[in-house]
Structure 1
Amino acid sequence: MFGALCIEGPKWCGKTWTSLNHAESVVYMGDPTNNFQNRTMSLYESGDSNGQVSLAALFDGKLQPVATGDVNLRHLIDLTVRGGWPGSLHVETPISTELTKSYLDTVVYEDMYKVDGIQRDYQKAILLLRSLARNECTVASNTKLVKDIQEYDNESMDRNTVSNYLDIFHRLFILEDQPAFSPHIRASIRVGKSPKRHYVDSSLAVAALGVNSTMLLQDLNTFGFLFESLCERDLRIYAEANGGKLFHYRDEKDKEIDAVVELSDGRWGAFEIKLGANQIDKAAEQLLAMKKILKEHEPAILCVICGMSHIAYTRKDGVMVVPITSLKD
């Protein structure tokens, strides 16, 4: 099922030497060469997006109407549960779920100690990972996470511990938060600075929650947040491929934009992410309203990234609609 052996033992006992002499190939997951190219993959990299629509082309105002193919809800859920791990691409979804759970177990029981040699509380780490999954794609503060753990797990954890564990998770590339966007707008608008919480891959949030595809099919509200996580993972990859960065926006009145892509030349685009095609109209209205608010530094493009849609097109109001399964860099 796993296609691998876990070799355990004290340091310097020959684990690496033995492994190297029996393995036909070696991949070092922490190797910084080529900008950590063993990160998880986008849907386009894994072959699950047909790449008919380019993010770079959108910024150049190029979006010809195109049929992008049928989309199945269960398939979208499976892609979110599987994640972009190279080793999971050709295994069945239930097996990929177990692989991701094992990945988190390794982080908690082994990798956290290896970072700095400090032994931490395994149970607290698991509780925090679970709380982060419940707050995926939100701007939950450390205080909110403490309250969340108390409410859902009836356990206490102080903010210093949460902060310390979060730092470790970031250093282990488990988390990659989405920073806040601060456009140069009139001073009367106060912009939030809190990052949006994110696992580096949607599958990790799924594993931390302990859910599967069938359970998510029956709970589309929870899946909506996980789908947003998958889309923002891809947008980050595509943005970086174009020399850009991914942000989110929220002001003092809780007006928000799910995702903001800013290119190196200063142009930026506002993206709303919706699972169902029936949500496109509302998302477009929100984007157009935000454009009026940000009129002194308005976005170059407005776009709705959709799950259950089979066509990419530009609406009469100028808002673009793009299925995530058709997007590339």
Structure 2
Amino acid sequence: MLDILTAATLLFSPLLISLSSPWNLDILPSEMSYVPRVVDAELTTLLAANGAVVVEGPKACGKTETARQQSASEVLLDVDANAQQAVAVDPALVLPGDRPRLLDEWQSHPALWNHVRRSVDAERQPGMYVLTGSAVPADDATRHTGAGRFGRLRMRPMALAESGVSNREVSLRELLNGATTQSPDPGLTVDDLMEEVVRGGWPGFRGLERPAATRAVRDYLDQVRRTDVSAVDGIRRDPEGVRVVLQSLARHTATSAKLTTIARDASGPDSRIKDETVAAYLSALERLMIVEDLPAWAPHLRSSYQLRTGPTRHFADPSLAAAALRATPENLLADFNTFGLLFESLVVRDLRVYAQACDATVSHYRDSSGLEVDAIVTTDAGAWVAVEVKLGSSAEVLDAAAANLRKFSGRVDTSKRGEPAALAIVVGTGYGYVRPDGVHVIPIGTLAP
């Protein structure tokens, strides 16, 4: 456990941070040892192939500490006043140093981008710089000149395999290769899953007791709505309006709610939030990487049904949705429908982390008949796994989910797409096994890359 002073710092610092503040929640307290992340190997590969690597992800997901493991020197641009003054005079002043050189929170000084690019062009050496950022800069035009010079790496909050909750018995990579899976019960309970949903995968909050961690995530989200959504591009946004939109998004987690639905749901009896206002808020939240919608999968179909191309709504971590709703394990116990949606979002978060390590992407499926599949994992080579997410694991629930997966698989034109590597139901608790119909049952507490 963290000492009282460290816990207090972690708990209340989200109220103080902003894009240019002296606080950086991606830097762990010195007494907390680094926990290996799934992206470590990817960062090594990208540094060997590119002059610079940009590591992007929401605040507090661990970017700085991950980059530090493979950097020889660093400039912390959000806390080092001398570096900030130097960049204001000439961004090239902060580039010299042992390499790879970490330029942390570079987006607060976008002019750095072209200076790094010129340095890479001049020396043509791999592994020169690591740039970390928790927001997409307002002037995106300068970033297009990075082609062929910059590698990109997306980081997310910790998946269960990273935080030590998963026993790592079932590999997504092996599943994509057609392996048969089975696993012992990882021992997770419904209470454990509720705890994970409200606590989230934030490295700096993992050492806190649950009430303190819950409060920290709420304060984090409060900072986003009060400061960060305006600081990201300098456009003033109403914090109260952002709050009700965040609540609406949270209520529609893991659904295909349209923008108009979110706007209507966020509007009060005496005021109406315009669709374009909601769109602007969502754009800012996407640039902060607070929300990350799940895109639609578009396979060739054997049937005449029309594909639905709208995304499903997800936060970067289910704890953000829980914080927006002020959810606790106690009130989630009385609202299993909401808990089920937040659990689905947790599974999507973990699948995204593991899929990235497999050169794969995650999407969802929905067609005009109403048939839906929660997640489709697809590799660049074309292998794919269809996943239904179910909090419960009763025979009735599993039978219905398996029938849905088989129905979906029958609609995909496998002559063009190929047969699925697996059809899988990810559940909250219990054992992992393959049903007689060939559908895998995989407890979330067993999954790993």
Q: TM-score, normalised by structure 1?
A: 0.90
Measured at CA, do residues 29 and 225 of structure 1 come closer, stay the same or move farther in structure 2, by a change above 3 Å? Answer: farther
Rg comparison, structure with higher value:
2
Q: 2:353 aligns with which of 237, 240, 244?
A: 237
Contact conserved, 2:249 with 2:262, CA < 8 A, in 1? yes
Residues 1:300 and 2:421 are matched in the alignment: yes
Q: 2:371 aligns with which of 225, 249, 255?
A: 255
Matched length: 321
Query: 1:223, CA displacement in angstroms?
Result: 0.1
CA distance in 2, matches of 1:147, 1:7: 32
Secondary structure at the counterpart of residue 248 of structure 2: helix
Q: Identical aligned pairs, as a percentage? A: 38
Shift of 1:308: 2.1
| CA spacing shift, 1:154–1:96, aligned 2, 3 Å | farther
Q: Which residue of 2 aligns with 1:156?
A: 272
**2:426 partner SS:** strand
Task: List 4+ stretches of structure 1 deviating above 4 A.
Answer: 4-9, 11-15, 26-30, 32-38
Indicate whether 1:312 and 2:423 are aligned: no
CA contact (8 A) 2:300 2:413 kept: no
Name the counterpart of 2:441: 321
Determine the structure 1 residue equivalent to 2:203. Answer: 86
Deviations 1:169-218 (A, max 9, x none): 00011111100000022472210100111100000000001111111112
Deviation at 1:324, TM superposition (A): 0.3
Aligned counterpart, 1:180: 296
Q: Which structure ranks higher in relative contact order (CA pairs < 8 Å, sequence separation ≥ 6)?
A: 1
Instruction: Describe the SS at the equivalent of 2:264.
Output: helix
Kindly indicate whether residue 407 of structure 2 is the aligned counterpart of residue 289 of structure 1.
Answer: yes
**CA 1:221–1:230 in 2, change beyond 3 Å: closer, same or farther?**
same
Whether 1:192 aligns to 2:192 is no
2:172 to 55, 58, 63: 55
**What amino acid does structure 1 have at the position aligned with 2:422?**
I
Among 144, 152, 155, the residue aligned to 2:261: 144
CA RMSD of aligned residues (A): 2.6
Quote how far apart the aligned CAs of 1:300 are: 2.5
Q: Give the equivalent residue in structure 1 for 2:115.
A: none
Question: How many angstroms apart in 1 are the aligned matches of 2:17 and 2:176?
Answer: 50
- 1:96 and 2:159 equivalent? no
Q: Are residue 126 (structure 1) and residue 132 (structure 2) matched?
A: no
Partners in 2 of 1:247 and 1:8 — Cα distance? 33
Helix, strand or coil for the counterpart of 2:355? Answer: helix
Structure 2 distance, partners of 1:29, 1:17, is 12
Counterpart of 1:204? 320
Q: Distance in 1 between matches of 2:372 and 2:154?
A: 32
* Residue identity opposite 2:173 in structure 1: A
Whether contact under 8 Å (2:166, 2:186) holds in the other structure is no
Q: Which of the residues 2, 5, 22 maps onto 2:8? A: 2
The residue type equivalent to 1:175 in the other structure is V
1:63 to partner: Cα distance: 2.5
Matched residue SS, 1:281: helix
Per-residue CA shift, 1:209-253, capped at 9, x if unaligned?
Answer: 111111111211110000000001001111111000000000011
Give the conservation status (yes or no) of the 8 Å contact 1:180–1:248: yes
Alignment deviations for residues 125-144 of structure 1 (CA, whole Å, 9 cap, x no partner): 10100000000001111111
Distance in 2 (CA, whole Å) between partners of 1:38 and 1:186 is 37
Gaps of 5+ in 2: 1-6, 23-76, 84-102, 108-131, 134-149
SS at 2:165's partner residue? coil
The offset of 1:123, in angstroms, is 0.9
What is the alpha-carbon distance in structure 1 between the residues aligned to residue 413 and residue 78 of structure 2? 60
Cα distance in 2 for residues equivalent to 1:52 and 1:35: 29
**Partner Cα separation in structure 2 for residue 203 and residue 287 of structure 1:** 28
